[in-house]
Structure formats: C-alpha cells, structure tokens
Amino acid sequence: MISMIAAMGKNREIGLNGEMPWHLPNDLKFFKKTTSGHSVLMGRKTYESIGRPLPNRRNLVVTRSESFHADGVEVLHSLDDVKPLVNSEEEFFVIGGATLYEQLMPIAKRLYITSINAEFEADTYFPAIDEIEWKIVSSEKGIVDEKNKYEHTFQVFERTSN
C-alpha cells in the first residue's frame, strides 16, 4: 500500500529551494515515528536535501540519472520499478518531492499530513487533496511552544474511492 507523508502550509506549500520553509521539530518527530521500520521512497533531490539514508528504514531513490549511486539506498530508474515493490510491502511511504507526490497520488491509499496554519514563500507544492476522494480518519493538534512556533495539526486521510 502506498502512503504519502508531508508537512504543508495553508497553500499546500512544501518546499523552497530544496528545503522546508519552516522549522517544526514536532513534525520531524511525527515523521520519524510514522516511517520508522518501513520503506521510504523519494526522488533524488529529496535524497540530496536529506544528505544520507534515513536510519531504520529501507531507502529507495527514484532518479532518471543512470549514473546516480549512493551508499545505503536502492536506486530505481522509473516508476515501473516501484510497482512490484509496493505490492510486496504492507505500508510504503512516499516522502517527496513534489513530482513523486503528483505522480503517485492517484494510487496512494493513505496520506499523513502535518497541516501548518501559516503561509510560506515556496516553489514546491503538495497536490490538492480532493475532499470527495479523501476522508480524515485522524486529527490531532500539535503543541505550540518555543521550539514549535506554528499552529499545526497531524492528520491522516484515507481514500474513499478507487
């Protein structure tokens, strides 16, 4: 099953110049707790922004570059390479970037979204979440404090139709 995990601002913004446009430690903890022990799928630029394989996860990087290699990751060169892997896993997380979210949204079954109640300058966005196709099955407000300055909510969506 394909799931997606992302944090986004009010306008679905997810990135600026290859980085997240906010600092929100609560979201990083949620991401780690949710994806730990699972496979994570990311584009090459997302991998390069992280800079290393994520621990306690199977790391898969999708890239068109035949010359890309990195220690600790499996390299896939097309989405066709992803499909057999997805069918063999219980839950498989797409962690970015925007192109992979857009391409795999039609076959995703679950979304883990940290909704940040603020607007940010951005150059990358998460696809629109159609309220007819998705329902919220879990919603929990995050704690705002000196380290987590933005109001945020952790939401889980499940697809209502195929």
DSSP class of residue 106 equals: G
Predicted pLDDT at 80:
87
Name 131's Cβ contacts closer than 8 Å, sequence gap at least 6: none
How many domains does one find in the chain? 1
Q: Per this entry, what is the length of the chain?
A: 162
pLDDT at 161: 77
CATH number at residue 98: 3.40.430.10
Q: DSSP label at 19?
A: B
Gap between the Cα atoms of 122 and 68, Å rounded: 27
Each residue of 72-121: pLDDT tens digit? 999 999 988 887 777 766 799 999 999 999 999 999 999 999 999 999 99
Instruction: Print the domain residue range for 77.
Output: 2-159
Average of per-residue pLDDT values in the chain? 94
